[in-house]
Amino acid sequence: MPCEKLELLGGGAHGIVFLTQYYNPPTFSVPMKLAVKSSKDEFSGSIWGEGQILRKLQRCPYIIHCLGEDTSVEHGNTMYNLLLEYAPGGTLKRWMNSRERLIPEEEASLYAYQLLKGILEVHRLGIVHCDLKPNNILLFPCRYGCSLNQLKIGDFRLSKVTGEGGHRGTLLYTSPESLFCDMHEAPKDIWAIGCMVAEMMTGESPWKFCNTNGDDKLAQGMAFKQPQISTGISDHAKDFLMKCFEKNPNVRWTADKLLNHPFVANTDNPLLCQRWEDRQGLGNRPLGTGEWISSIDLFSTPISS
């Protein structure tokens, strides 16, 4: 049995996430840390669906990498396990909360670039994430001489195929058309990216001013008011956010267009996103990169319930 669950990382209604140690055959000598989502088999539909989506996105360096799946019997229950790469930096939410200072605009631009590159691949597959938020963005260290983070989009449990019925997602990052017209399409993800980028640069949600009187007031504020954007950011940054916060989803800019916006493509930015990406060697992986592990009873020492 080459895998063991070490500690509980978190969980919710759809399953539990464990830090695990995987002893890669044939030598089994060098353990690799993985994050594994586990659920009782009869409740595992959303996690299984997430795995199928991630399998199609393995070539994108800005999407969490899925390594395979497993079914095991633990404490008398049949468990479905989804094997994911472990993010040593935790979530974007936790990282932002731990910082004493706001994220500089040049750095926020780089993170916006990564989020857009990731969601562009998702949308090209005809998929809508539906629940983009800081808790679902995972952080990895950069590879070569860089103190910044590589961001990867995770948690595709609420994702849907374009044109199908959707899910509401998390209210603070949900677009007006999804709230009031039940439209859960690609523009919804762009709205959520705008919310996250604004939060990076200002330290608070652009909807904080209408987030004090419950969900109903928040939803009404997001639908009928303009977001509160700090005056302390550049004109390029403000314009980028307003392109994300266009109320009409048919006019809201796509990921492809936003990648050419001066906020992201600004040659005066010392980080220059495209150059950073090239230095880090983050071109898309060839299709099929990484062996897909599919097993039965992969886990040897599950944590006691």
Q: What is the CATH number of the domain that holds 11?
A: 3.30.200.20
Cβ-contact 49, 273 below 8 angstroms: no
In this prediction, residue 305 has a pLDDT band, given cuts at 50, 70 and 90, of: very low
Residues 210, 149, single domain; the answer is yes
**CA atoms of 228 and 146, how far apart (whole Å):** 32
Chain centre to alpha carbon of residue 77: 30
CB 221 within 8 A of CB 247: no
How confident is the model over 4-11, as a mean pLDDT?
83
Residues 264-282 have a mean pLDDT of 67
- The DSSP H or E segment spanning 242 is helix 235-244
Distance CA 26, CA 20 (A): 18
Range of the domain at 147: 92-279
Please give the share of the chain, as a percent, with pLDDT higher than 70: 83
Mean pLDDT, rounded, for 56-66: 91
Residue 26 has what pLDDT? 55
The confidence band for 166, taking pLDDT boundaries of 50, 70 and 90, is low
Question: Does the CA dihedral 141-147-149-150 come out positive or negative?
Answer: negative
**Cα–Cα distance for residue pair 251/261, rounded to 1 Å:** 15
Position 89 scores a pLDDT of 93
101 in the same domain as 83: no
Instruction: Report the pLDDT value the prediction gives residue 62, as an integer from 0 to 100.
Output: 94
Where is pLDDT greater, at 302 or 238?
238
Q: Which of 131, 155, 278, 297 is catalytic?
A: 131
Residue-averaged pLDDT of the chain: 84
pLDDT for the residue 138: 96
Number of domains in the chain: 2
In a domain, 301, yes or no: no
User: Is 235 annotated as catalytic?
Assistant: no
8-13 LR contacts (CB < 8 Å, sep 24+): 8/303, 9/35
In eight-state DSSP terms, residue 284 is P
CA 92 to chain centre: 9
pLDDT given at position 242: 94
Q: What three-state secondary structure class fits 193?
A: helix
